[in-house]
């Protein structure tokens, strides 16, 4: 009787005492893990962790099954990728040389910084936005020119264009987070066009589409077509959000081949085989993506409506998080949520009174609202109940 590799693998796992649990079964446990951060352990079966814009549902079953099927490769180098590169190429209509894989899209953001800021150049972008890009710029000896948002929390495109032209020789690249983290606000298609047409033609632009999959605003469009036109645009995507694979670390950048070539000098080129198979499956799993998107929108809009009815202003969001104006310092407010076993927010200067809340599952958001009502009095303009 021929022993299949799979049964050898599961026999080995059983020998180690894992009782050959497969990922699909293990997945049920991921929702109730205990992790240590700082001094106190955090029990995720108790705590609502709605502070890091994660996907509360985890990866879909087909994604986990695809990861399971990759175990047989884990002791090898140069393994198949489960169709990941081909899937990304097909999705965007690009060639192999237009893609750079990273351990999370965060790696690609860092690689862009290292590629274009060495020698002390600066990134130009809005504040607040995804701060990792600006802190990395400083770490590699460059800097950041940060421009305020408009009063309605949109990004001020004419201002960015003006600064890009005035300071062109100092600027290594422009960063546009679309939709923006932490506000959840999109940059409409026309504004992206205005930015790209207004800045010097050879100035690289990093467009971060980490939250692309949650958007339903028709004014938004992906910026991938600019890459196809050959503009110096790098678009990043991640499997951490819609695909629920944050801890598995997979993301990618799409850019003209000569830019990818420069960037790849600074990339690790290392992603684990399990997430490559899972990522490839998630690209094909449109129904799974749709489920997460629909649940996110439903739970987000219900929570926002409740907060508004209670008299608090919330910035309309196109992502899996939103900001509520609590009119108090959010550092203190986040502490007040802790006794309710709720992790929320951190300061995003200069928006120090806006609490960023990630959209958890329905139960987590119900608990968030209970705590919110305890911590905050009904505002004067609350709808009469």
Q: Which is nearer to ligand PMP, 102 or 371 (CB)?
A: 102
231 to 186, 206, 263: CA distances (angstroms): 21, 11, 16
Tokens representing 103?
Answer: 């351990």
Which residue's C-beta sits nearest to ligand PMP?
104
Tokens representing 312?
Answer: 């608090």
Is 357 one of the binding residues for ligand PMP (CB under 6 A)? Answer: no
Binders of ligand PMP among residues 96 to 135 (CB under 6 A) are 104-106, 109, 130
CA distance 91 to 93: 6
In degrees and rounded to multiples of 5, residue 168 shows phi and psi of -50, -40
Q: Which is nearer to ligand PMP, 109 or 111 (CB)?
A: 109
Are 112 and 252 spatial neighbours (Cβ–Cβ below 8 Å)? no
Contacts with ligand PMP by CB under 6 A: the residue count is 14
Cβ count within 10 A of residue 242: 24
Q: Which is nearer to ligand PMP, 98 or 271 (CB)?
A: 271
Binders of ligand PMP among residues 186 to 215 (CB under 6 A) are 208, 210
3-class secondary structure per residue, 164-201:
HHHCHHHEEEEEEECCCCCCCCCCCHHHHHHHHHHCCC
Q: Which is nearer to ligand PMP, 177 or 281 (CB)?
A: 177
- Residue from 27, 146, 177, 205 binding ligand PMP (CB under 6 A): 177
Q: Which is nearer to ligand PMP, 73 or 175 (CB)?
A: 175
Are 106 and 132 spatial neighbours (Cβ–Cβ below 8 Å)? yes
CA distance 244 to 225: 26
Smallest gap from Cβ 227 to ligand PMP, in A, equals 18
CA distance 346 to 352: 9
Q: Which is nearer to ligand PMP, 231 or 249 (CB)?
A: 249
Site string for ligand PMP, 327-356 (x = CB under 6 A): ------------------------------
Are 359 and 337 spatial neighbours (Cβ–Cβ below 8 Å)? no
Smallest gap from Cβ 252 to ligand PMP, in A, equals 9
Smallest gap from Cβ 138 to ligand PMP, in A, equals 17
Smallest gap from Cβ 20 to ligand PMP, in A, equals 30
Q: Which is nearer to ligand PMP, 126 or 210 (CB)?
A: 210
Q: Which is nearer to ligand PMP, 73 or 130 (CB)?
A: 130
Tokens representing 376?
Answer: 């905050």
Largest CA distance in the chain: 77
Sequence-distant (6+) residues with CB within 8 A of 169 are none
C-alpha 382: how far from chain center:
33
Smallest gap from Cβ 331 to ligand PMP, in A, equals 19
Q: Which is nearer to ligand PMP, 109 or 164 (CB)?
A: 109
CA distance 282 to 297: 20
Q: Which is nearer to ligand PMP, 222 or 312 (CB)?
A: 222
- Sole residue written with tokens 């047409």: 197
Smallest gap from Cβ 60 to ligand PMP, in A, equals 18
Binders of ligand PMP among residues 38 to 57 (CB under 6 A) are 53
Tokens representing 304?
Answer: 């926002």
Binders of ligand PMP among residues 235 to 254 (CB under 6 A) are 238, 240, 246, 251
Smallest gap from Cβ 237 to ligand PMP, in A, equals 8
Are 155 and 149 spatial neighbours (Cβ–Cβ below 8 Å)? yes
What pairs with residue 34 in β-bridges?
A: 43
Residue numbers at the binding site for ligand PMP (CB under 6 A): 53, 104-106, 109, 130, 177, 181, 208, 210, 238, 240, 246, 251
């Amino acid at each position: 009787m021929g022993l299949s590799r799979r049964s050898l693998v599961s026999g080995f796992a059983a020998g180690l005492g894992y009782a050959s649990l497969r990922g699909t079964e293990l997945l049920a446990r991921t929702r109730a893990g205990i992790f240590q951060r700082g001094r106190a352990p955090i029990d995720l079966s108790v705590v609502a962790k709605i502070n890091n814009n994660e996907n509360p549902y985890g990866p879909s079953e087909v994604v986990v099954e695809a990861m399971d099927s990759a175990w047989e490769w884990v002791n090898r180098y140069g393994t198949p990728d489960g169709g990941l590169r081909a899937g990304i190429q097909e999705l965007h209509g690009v060639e192999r040389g237009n893609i750079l894989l990273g351990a999370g899209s965060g790696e690609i953001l860092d690689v862009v910084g290292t590629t274009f800021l060495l020698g002390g150049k600066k990134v130009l972008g809005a504040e607040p936005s995804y701060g990792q890009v600006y802190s990395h710029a400083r770490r590699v000896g460059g800097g950041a020119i940060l421009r305020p948002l408009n009063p309605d929390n949109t990004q001020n495109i004419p201002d960015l264009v003006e600064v890009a032209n005035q300071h062109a020789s100092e600027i290594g690249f422009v960063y546009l987070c679309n939709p923006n983290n932490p506000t959840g606000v999109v940059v409409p298609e026309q504004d992206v066009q205005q930015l790209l047409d207004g800045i010097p033609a050879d100035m690289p632009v990093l467009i971060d589409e980490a939250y692309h999959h949650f958007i339903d605003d028709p004014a938004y469009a992906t910026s991938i077509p600019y890459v196809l036109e050959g503009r110096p645009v790098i678009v990043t995507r991640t499997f951490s959000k819609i695909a629920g694979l944050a801890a598995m670390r997979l993301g990618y950048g799409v850019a003209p081949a000569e830019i990818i070539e420069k960037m790849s000098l600074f990339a690790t080129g290392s992603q684990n085989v399990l997430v490559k198979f899972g990522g490839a499956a998630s690209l094909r799993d449109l129904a799974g993506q749709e489920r997460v998107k629909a649940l996110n929108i439903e739970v987000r809009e219900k929570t926002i409506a409740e907060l508004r009815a209670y008299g608090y202003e919330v910035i309309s969001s196109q992502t899996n998080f939103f900001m509520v104006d609590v009119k108090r310092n959010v550092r203190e407010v986040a502490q007040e949520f802790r006794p309710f076993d709720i992790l929320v927010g951190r300061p995003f200067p200069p928006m120090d009174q806006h609490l960023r809340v990630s959209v958890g599952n329905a139960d987590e958001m119900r608990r968030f609202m209970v705590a919110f009502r305890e911590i905050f009095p009904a505002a004067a303009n609350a709808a009469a109940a």
